[in-house]
Amino acid sequence: MKVLIITVAGSSTRFSRSIGKECLKCIYYEEDFTQSLLYKTVYRDLSFDKYVIVGGYKFDELKRAVDLYLQSVKDKIVLINNEKYAEYGSGYSLYLGLQYVVDGEFDEVVFAEGDLWVDGESFAAVLNSPQDVITFNRDTIDALKSVVFYFDKDNYVHYLYDMAHNSLEIKEPFLSVYNSGQIWKFKHIQRVKDAFYSLGGDKWQGTNLVFIQKYFGEIKNGGFELVEMKKWFNCNTVSDFRKIGDI
């Protein structure tokens, strides 16, 4: 079974501020719902057996949108409510998505943050890879919005992100540094389960990068595939969202 986990629980503060009203950005559109990030992510590839969508903020609106606009894949959708999204953050959303996965049978899991748009060719490269996948893009690395990973002198990966969006610091020698594409593929079932069950409850109360680091952190560069997202937008504001329409 192939599973796509999409996390969309956050309160979209910067996006809401950019349009002047509260909004769940994954279902935002200006002409029709096919413009929305959620629609584009789900319909980017229909080969998944399950689409696990973890919401929280404005969950009732998310549910209505799924019922109304995603009817053709409704039997594949698992909709989960992260009622603690404001308290626990993105880590707990990933926990809830993985909780559904590890209790079932699966062959691979792709995890995509729900505020992203990527081009079809790049997304296909993730899906077609026979390996675990870490993605990157070539945008400027900016502490205001970037999730960063680097390889230390022994070629192991480390993730960095500043919740306050102020600055980033690498405190050791490193070989290379990348701007994360914020999409990952997990191919090793037992490693997913081991990483999931090894993390205590408090480890899920923060960034989702704790699990990502746990899964990939003990694998040297070369033990997974690095896939470039050639066209990639993290839609922090409505101006970011509108750039998609220019492609």
Q: How far is CA 190 from CA 101, 118, 217, in A?
A: 12, 29, 15
Q: Is the pLDDT of residue 132 over 90?
A: yes
Q: Please, what is the average pLDDT of the chain?
A: 94
List the one residue out of 32, 27, 3 whose CA is nearest residue 111.
3
Q: From CA 121, how far away is CA 127, in angstroms rounded?
A: 10
Residue 144 has pLDDT above 90, yes or no: no
- Give the pLDDT band (50/70/90) at residue 143: confident
Contacts for 61 with CB less than 8 Å, ≥ 6 apart: 24, 27
| Band (10; pLDDT cuts 50, 70, 90) | very high
Give the C-alpha separation, 191 to 179, whole Å. Answer: 25
What residues does 136 pair with on adjacent strands? 180, 228
* Tens of pLDDT, residues 159-199: 998 766 688 999 999 999 999 999 999 999 999 999 999 99
- Give the model's pLDDT for residue 165: 67
Contact between residue 85 and residue 101 where contact means Cβ atoms under 8 Å apart: no
